Amino acid sequence: MSVSSSATVTRLDVQAVKDYLLSLQDHICSALESVEPTVRFKEDAWDRPNGGGGRTRVIAGGEVIEKGGVNFSHVMGDNLPPSATVDRPELAGGRFEAMGVSLVIHPNNPFAPTSHANVRLFVVYKDDMAPVWWFGGGFDLTPYYGFDQDCIHWHQTAYDAVEPFGEGYYTRFKKWCDEYFYLKHRGEVLVALVVCSLMTLMKVLLSIASA
């Protein structure tokens, strides 16, 4: 899912978005640590030779969490790779920067699903045009044992998160996910408990970016 600069917001404050994403990483890590009596995240701060860097955080060996990672990255480059401009050839040769937070959490309990989420900002700069930017992201669960009540709770939570921003978002993004995770040779959706919709977070980021 993505929200692009074709929306009504046209001014972008990249630093404000970066500050928010760093605080989001901190918030998620603190929340996860609150369920663990002793283990804590270990951080590896890194720099990218071609520009940028990030904070990789890993937690392992907990009573609740077997292993998990909550990572932030911010990278930039002088030229977009060809694969990134197939659908937007006018952006070829542009400079770029990308940042985001991503996570994967594996619990010890096999009845609790693995969770994944990410949110990201991508910006392209060219001398002959205004910056082109968009937000993207999604979240999903991978259950090992499926339960109807868990499925209902998951989808209801996703629905409640996007409903305040307008009718139809849940249905639209749910359809995208079902198509993305569909296994043609098996005739089924790969992950039963999937909704790709970070609309709440996207709206927050849009408001921060244009503040």
Which of these is catalytic: 27, 116, 153, 155? 116
pLDDT score of 189: 67
pLDDT in tens, the chain (211 residues): 444 444 444 578 999 999 999 999 999 999 999 999 999 999 999 999 888 999 999 999 999 999 999 999 999 999 888 888 888 898 988 999 999 999 999 999 999 999 999 999 999 999 888 899 988 888 888 888 888 888 888 888 888 888 888 888 888 888 888 887 777 887 776 654 343 334 445 555 555 455 5
What is the predicted pLDDT for the residue at 190? Answer: 63
Which pLDDT does position 69 carry in this prediction?
Answer: 98
Tell me the angle at which helices 199-209 and 14-33 cross, rounded to the nearest 10 degrees: 140
For the question of residue 116 being annotated catalytic, the response is yes
Query: Does the reported pTM lie above 0.75?
Result: yes
pLDDT at 157: 87
pLDDT tens sequence across 114-161:
999 999 999 999 988 889 998 888 888 888 888 888 888 888 888 888
Which pLDDT score, from 0 to 100, does residue 50 have?
81
What pLDDT is stored for residue 178 in this prediction?
A: 81
